[in-house]
Chains A and B, each alone.
Chain A
Amino acid sequence: GLFVWRLRSTGEPQMACRFVHLYHVANNRLITFQYFNFLKRMYVTQCNKDLSQQAKPKSDSIVSPFHELPQLDQEKKVVHKISPVSPVHQSGSETSSRNELREMKSAAETEDSVVPVGAESKEDRQWKEMKLQLDDLPGILARLSKIKLTALVVSTTSAGFAMAPVPFELACFLLASLGTGLASCAANSINQFFEVPFDSNMNRTKNRPLVRGQISPLLAVCFAASCGIPGIALLTLGVNPLTGALGAFNIFLYTCCYTPLKRMSIANTWVGAVVGAIPPMMGWTAATGSLDAGALLLGGILYSWQFPHFNALSWGLREDYSRGGYCMMSVTHPGLCRRVALRHCVALIGLSALAPVLGITTWTFPVISLPINLYISYLGFRFYRDADRSSSRRLFFCSLWHLPMLLLVMFTCKKSVLEKEDEGNLPRGGHETAVEMRLP
């Protein structure tokens, strides 16, 4: 939304005729305002599906906001096209200039492949050749692999890595992040490969590359294999076998359990929550090489977070789910949906309190995180009680900033390795302490 307004304010050329100028400005405003509303609607509907698929081949949940907003680039194109129109049009009488402008405007609009208002409609109505366009390929693959979701998954992995009580190793960190990112791309691509007819029928997902025929299923599978195999190999050989195994397991869980289960039983939500919980655990095992209590706690926090996030999101998509044949709690067991969301909001408080007990953070963490945990629990309670669209949306949007903030606070309250060593282990040599590198 902000992006749109900014674009609009730049490049308003001088108009000879004031009336025409007003007309032009009004048109622009109308277009961008409608586009903004369109974006807003898309935002809410989109986040969910992908999220709800909680899919996140690794941690989907976080992605939602920017997920699959394809029209933004096209909007930019349109605005740039409109500005060159105006300078050409100069003098003449008011009526003739008005007509000229209208003509040029319509010329500009038909020139563009996409008109912001009813954004995809023009492009959609055309027949397209099903030939792979190489220049579009990066964008297509980015959308196929849900690149933004993947980025969020990788960031939760990094959080897991950062929280591990070991000296920071940059090489290991980068390898783990890259491997996880590749695995996530692979899982997302397979997910889209499986879901083509269903994605076509849901508003949020109908612009995916496979749905639009921009890429063939064969290529999608090959891409998935060429991401997944090197990704897992990288994790197994470059980091450690445990992380590789977790990565492979997560891909399997997401593509072969979660994706088909979505259409069979509401249990998919719980499976999806596990899928989201594994990446930070992978980050932890990448750093320490073992699955200890800290990893499980981090996984537990991500697991619990998924529920308010996803359940709130799915509340607004019930019609699409019902028609598409997806078994989601929000449709079949609405009471359970809200109860579970509330339950897990409260669980987050408990899990945060567990962190100092396990020695991952200092006691300040549960104290500082209490306000945000209480707030999300409060919104969870409101959602439970009111069960309407506004409370679900508020809970969803809260979950979007709640997780990054919680992880950030957790990191700042991390118990330093030095402190731990002072606490009673035999003091290591001086070179050990010099090696420890805190992340900024």
Chain B
Amino acid sequence: PPAHSHSDWIGPPDKHSNLRPVIFYVPPEESALERRLREARQEAQASNQRFWARHNRAFRQEKEEFIYSRLKAKGLEMRDESGQKATLNAEEMADFYKDFLSKNFKKHLQYNRDWYKRNFRITFLMGQVALVRALRWLRWRKKNVEQ
């Protein structure tokens, strides 16, 4: 993002977590409230990134392992004659999906709780910041009108 910009910039989805990273703009006269908001957003972004990157990597890895073990049980190789990667059909993969979901169930419950808490807190802070800014602008307007 350009150096002179006064707003946040959001980028393309991350390869591992599929989340879009945000670069936050730090205004020179950032109030304490605004700093709290920015830090909350940065912290949430980092935490989300960690969770999803790890989770997706685990998914991919376990999926590979599952395919490999199933193919081996069937007596096939990972790649067939034409060099194409061998895959299992949807019904065979269904066992893996079910397993994966139940294994990660507790992890997801914990993450959901965290995410909802963080989301509410950030949105509430945004509301506070917006309110303060609006009041400030109104006061500035009043001062200008009086002059």
Contacts and interface: CB of A to CB of B under 8 A. Distances in A.
Contact of B97 (A196, A216, A321): A321
Contacts of B105: 325, 327
Residue of A211, A264, A318 contacting most chain B CB atoms (<10 Å): A318
Contact of A325 (B9, B10, B12, B108): B108
Interface stretch (B18-26, B27-35, B69-77, B137-145): B18-26
B67 interface: no
B102 interface: yes
Interface stretch (A72-80, A123-131, A398-406): A123-131
Interface in B1-19: 1, 5, 7-13, 17-19
Contacts of A387: 91
B46 interface: no
Nearest to B60: A323
A221 B123 contact: yes
Contact of B10 (A127, A194, A334): A127
Interface string B81-101: 000000000110110111011
B62 to A, nearest CB: 10
Interface string A103-146: 00000000000000000000011111111000000000000000
Given A206-B18, A263-B108, A130 B9 contact: yes
B23 to A, nearest CB: 8
Contact of B48 (A197, A325, A326): A197
Contacts of B91: 387-388
Nearest to A197: B48
Interface string A379-398: 00000000111000000000
A316 B90 CA distance: 9
A263 B80 CA distance: 38
A201 B18 contact: yes
B78 interface: no
A197 B52 contact: yes
Contacts of A326: 101
Given A217-B119, A263-B112, A327 B9 contact: no
Interface in A182-228: 193-194, 196-197, 200-201, 206, 211-213, 216-218, 221
A194 B1 CA distance: 28
Contacts of B8: 129-130, 213
B96 to A, nearest CB: 8
A213 B20 contact: yes
A265 to B, nearest CB: 10
A193 B1 contact: no
Contacts of A90: none
Contact of A193 (B22, B108, B109, B119): B119
A125 B18 CA distance: 12
B87 to A, nearest CB: 12
A124 B13 CA distance: 7
Interface in A300-359: 316, 318-319, 321-323, 325-327, 331-332, 334
Interface residues of B, number: 45
B112 A260 contact: yes
A194 B119 contact: yes
Residue of A194, A200, A260 contacting most chain B CB atoms (<10 Å): A200
A325 B93 CA distance: 16
B145 to A, nearest CB: 26
Contacts of B18: 200-201, 206
Residue of A206, A213, A327 contacting most chain B CB atoms (<10 Å): A213
A347 to B, nearest CB: 26
B20 A212 contact: yes
Nearest to A199: B18
A129 B123 contact: no
Contacts of A124: 12-13
Given A323-B56, A388-B90, A127 B1 contact: yes
B98 A331 contact: yes
Contacts of A325: 101, 104-105, 107-108, 111
Contacts of B130: 218
B68 interface: no
Nearest to B23: A127
A81 to B, nearest CB: 23
Interface of B: 1, 5, 7-13, 17-20, 22-23, 48, 52, 55-56, 59, 90-91, 93-94, 96-98, 100-102, 104-105, 107-109, 111-112, 115-116, 119, 122-123, 126-127, 130
Q: Which 7 pairs across A and B sit closest by C-beta, in order of nearness?
A: A322-B97, A213-B10, A325-B108, A218-B126, A130-B8, A131-B7, A127-B11
27 contacts: A126-B12, A129-B7, A130-B22, A131-B7, A200-B18, A200-B20, A201-B17, A201-B18, A206-B13, A213-B8, A213-B10, A216-B126, A217-B119, A217-B126, A218-B127, A221-B123, A264-B112, A318-B93, A321-B97, A323-B100, A325-B101, A327-B105, A331-B97, A332-B101, A387-B91, A388-B90, A389-B90
Given A206-B18, A217-B122, 11 more contacts: A124-B13, A127-B10, A128-B11, A129-B8, A193-B119, A197-B48, A213-B20, A216-B126, A217-B123, A263-B108, A323-B56
